[in-house]
């Protein structure tokens, strides 16, 4: 019995981990398309592979909100060739009274790079970071928590089904 449950847990873990090699993220800015970027899943905004082009797009989105952000989002291209992990990114920032959203890609947090901490450090009286988060599952930088809920329900259903089928025989 213990062996069967351990095997089921291992298979479930491998199933969840299998999609992590190249994360796919929403790439947009409310500066370019406010409606779609506020609710990308509602408007079926396509997910894009998180790669060097996506990093460049994210940097461009940041620059369009405020040119001082460009330096914060700068990434050394040689870091990507070292097979460093990439994460999806969601940033909400305020310039004056206007709120902006950026959804894109960024290097995964490392000791030398924490994009959210760098943004917080850049805050001033005109430009403020309201929210910053990274995640590493396809579509996780969406407007809702629906993705996480669906993954949890699917994983639980698979686990219970396999355990039940195994115990039945």
Handedness of CA 115, 120, 122, 123 (dihedral sign): positive
pLDDT given at position 6: 37
Q: Which residue has the tokens 């095997």?
A: 7
3-state secondary structure of 128: strand
pLDDT given at position 87: 94
53's tokens = 């082009």
What is the mean pLDDT for each group of 10 consecutive residues in the chain (169 residues)? 40 41 92 94 95 92 90 70 81 93 90 83 89 95 61 50 58
The residue among 50, 24, 118, 113 whose CA lies nearest residue 76 is: 113
pLDDT given at position 81: 54
pLDDT given at position 1: 47
pLDDT given at position 48: 97
């Amino acid at each position: 019995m213990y062996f069967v449950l351990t095997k089921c847990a291992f298979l479930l873990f491998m199933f969840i981990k299998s999609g992590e090699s190249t994360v796919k993220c929403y790439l947009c800015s409310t500066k370019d398309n406010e409606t779609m970027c506020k609710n990308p899943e509602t408007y079926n905004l396509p997910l894009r592979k998180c790669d060097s082009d996506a990093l460049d797009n994210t940097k461009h989105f940041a620059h369009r909100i405020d040119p001082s952000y460009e330096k914060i989002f700068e990434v050394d291209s040689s870091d990507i060739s070292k097979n460093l992990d990439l994460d999806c990114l969601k940033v909400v920032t305020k310039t004056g009274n206007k709120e902006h959203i950026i959804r894109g890609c960024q290097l995964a947090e490392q000791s030398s790079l924490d994009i959210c901490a760098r943004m917080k450090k850049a805050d001033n009286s005109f430009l403020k970071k309201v929210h910053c988060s990274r995640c590493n599952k396809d579509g996780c930088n969406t407007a809702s928590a629906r993705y996480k809920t669906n993954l949890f329900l699917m994983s639980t259903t698979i686990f219970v089904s396999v355990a039940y089928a195994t115990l039945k025989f």
